[in-house]
C-alpha cells in the first residue's frame, strides 16, 4: 500500500453495501462495516477496531486525534488487542506484538438479519519473529446494534504448555470524565498501579475518576457498566473467558507525557478493559484452547 492502492487480493471478502476495504489513516488498510443499526471500522494493523457507532448516537469508542497510523506502531484508542503479555517488557513491545502486527483478513459474512461478522488471524510467523512460543490466534468481530468481539487462542504444541496474558484494551468515548460512574466492581480486589502496586479492595458501588487511575481488578468476571451522564447513556461491558477488568485514565500529567495523545483528551475517554492479566494469567496445556468474548452495548439513561 506504499502508493495508497488496495491490493486486489484483499478485496475477496468484501460484501457489497456491508463490508469494504479502504484506505485509513497513514494509508493503512481498514475495513469499513455498515449494518442496519451501526457502522464500524477495523484496521488490519492489530485487527484493531477503531470505530463503532450506532445510528443516531455518539461514537462508542474513543480514538485519539494524535494517534499514529504507521506500520509497527500501535493505534491509540479503539480496541487494541493485548497479547501475549500485558504492560511493559524490557526490549520488547508494550502490551505484546499482536497490536503492532498486520493480521490476515480471513473472511466475512452477513446474516439475514443484517448482522455482519468479520474474521482475522494472527500470522503464524509473528510469534516466531518475536521469539515467543507458537500460538494460533483468531479474532472475530460481529457488528449489529452491539459490538461483539471474540479472541480465540489455541496452543498448537503437542508437548509444551502456553502461558500468556490477553486483554481487549477498550477505550470508551464519554462526554466528560467528571460525569462518569463505573459500576459492577464493588467488593473486588485490585492492584492500584498508581499507588506503588498496592493491593486494595473496591469499596465504591459507583467508581468516580478524579485523578490518574490505573487499576487491575482481579477475579472480576462480571458485567461492568459505564454511566455517561453527560451523554445520557449507559454502556454495558459483558464478557466471558475473562477474569480481569482494568480501569485506566491517564489524567493531566500522564496525558502530557504520551506522544500520541492530546493533553486534554483524558476528559473524553476511559478504558474499561477485559482480559486475563497479572495473577489471572492463563496457561494452556498442549492442544488446549480458550476464548475471550466481550459484548459492548449502550442504552439511553
Higher pLDDT, 4 or 55: 55
Q: How far is CA 263 from CA 96, 252, 256, 267, in A?
A: 25, 7, 5, 9
Per-residue pLDDT tens digits for 29-72: 999 999 999 999 999 999 999 999 999 999 999 999 999 999 99
Closest CA to 118 of 36, 21, 235, 214: 21
To which H or E segment does residue 291 belong? strand 289-300
169 noted as active-site residue: yes
Work out the pLDDT band at 89, boundaries 50, 70, 90.
confident
> Could you state, in order of their start, the residue ranges of all structural domains in the chain?
16-282+290-300
Q: Is the pLDDT of residue 5 over 80?
A: no
Catalytic residue among 48, 51, 169, 202: 169
CATH of range 16-282+290-300; options 3.90.1150.10, 2.70.98.10, 2.60.40.720, 2.30.110.10: 2.70.98.10
Cβ-proximal residues to 37 (8 Å cutoff; 6+ apart), any chain: 54, 55, 114, 144, 145
Whole-angstrom Cα distance, residue 238 to residue 68?
29
DSSP line for 145-210: SSEEEEEEEE---SS--EEE-EEE-PEEE-S-GGGEEEES-TT-EEEEGGGTTEEEE---SEE---
Return mean pLDDT, the chain.
96
Counting Cβ atoms within 10 Å, is residue 154 exposed (0-12), middle (13-18) or buried (19+)?
middle
- pLDDT on residue 1: 47
The DSSP string of 42-90 is EETBTTEEEEEEETTS--SB-B-TT---STTS--SBSB-EE-S-SS-BT
Catalytic residue, candidates 102, 165, 202, 273: 273
Annotated active-site residue 273? The verdict is yes
Q: What single-letter DSSP state applies at residue 140?
A: E
Confidence of residue 93 (pLDDT cuts 50, 70, 90): confident
What's the pLDDT band for 4 if we cut at 50, 70, 90? Answer: low
Per-residue pLDDT reduced to its tens digit, 264-294: 999 999 999 999 999 999 999 999 999 999 9
User: At 270, is the secondary structure helix, strand, or coil?
Assistant: strand
In tens, the pLDDT along 122-147 reads 999 999 989 899 999 999 999 999 99
Query: Which residues, at least 6 apart from 195, have a Cβ–Cβ distance to it below 8 Å?
Result: none
Farthest CA pair distance, the chain = 55
Amino acid at each position: 500500500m506504499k502508493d495508497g492502492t488496495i491490493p486486489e487480493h484483499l478485496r475477496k471478502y468484501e460484501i457489497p453495501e456491508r463490508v469494504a476495504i479502504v484506505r485509513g489513516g497513514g494509508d493503512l488498510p481498514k475495513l469499513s462495516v455498515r449494518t442496519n443499526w451501526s457502522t464500524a471500522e477495523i484496521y488490519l494493523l492489530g485487527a484493531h477496531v477503531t470505530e463503532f457507532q450506532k445510528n443516531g448516537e455518539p461514537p462508542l469508542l474513543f480514538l485519539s486525534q494524535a494517534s499514529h497510523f504507521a506500520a509497527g506502531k500501535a493505534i491509540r484508542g479503539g480496541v487494541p488487542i493485548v497479547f501475549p503479555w500485558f504492560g511493559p517488557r524490557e526490549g520488547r513491545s508494550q502490551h505484546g506484538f499482536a497490536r503492532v502486527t498486520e493480521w490476515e483478513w480471513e473472511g466475512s459474512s452477513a446474516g439475514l438479519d443484517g448482522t455482519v461478522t468479520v474474521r482475522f488471524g494472527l500470522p503464524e510467523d509473528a510469534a516466531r519473529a518475536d521469539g515467543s512460543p507458537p500460538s494460533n490466534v483468531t479474532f472475530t468481530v460481529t457488528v449489529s446494534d452491539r459490538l461483539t468481539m471474540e479472541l480465540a487462542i489455541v496452543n498448537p504444541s503437542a508437548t509444551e504448555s502456553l502461558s500468556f496474558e490477553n486483554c481487549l484494551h477498550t477505550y470508551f468515548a464519554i462526554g466528560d470524565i467528571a460525569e462518569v460512574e463505573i459500576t459492577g466492581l464493588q467488593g473486588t480486589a485490585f492492584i492500584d498501579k498508581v499507588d506503588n502496586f498496592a493491593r486494595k479492595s473496591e469499596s465504591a458501588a459507583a467508581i468516580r475518576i478524579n485523578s490518574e487511575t490505573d487499576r487491575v481488578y482481579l477475579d472480576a468476571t462480571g458485567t461492568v457498566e459505564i454511566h455517561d451522564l453527560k451523554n445520557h447513556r449507559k454502556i454495558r461491558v459483558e464478557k466471558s473467558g475473562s477474569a480481569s477488568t482494568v480501569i485506566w485514565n491517564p489524567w493531566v500529567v500522564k496525558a502530557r507525557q504520551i506522544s500520541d495523545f492530546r493533553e486534554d483528551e483524558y476528559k473524553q475517554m476511559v478504558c474499561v478493559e477485559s482480559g486475563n492479566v497479572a495473577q489471572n494469567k492463563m496457561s494452556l496445556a498442549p492442544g488446549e484452547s480458550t476464548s475471550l468474548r466481550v459484548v459492548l452495548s449502550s442504552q439511553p439513561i
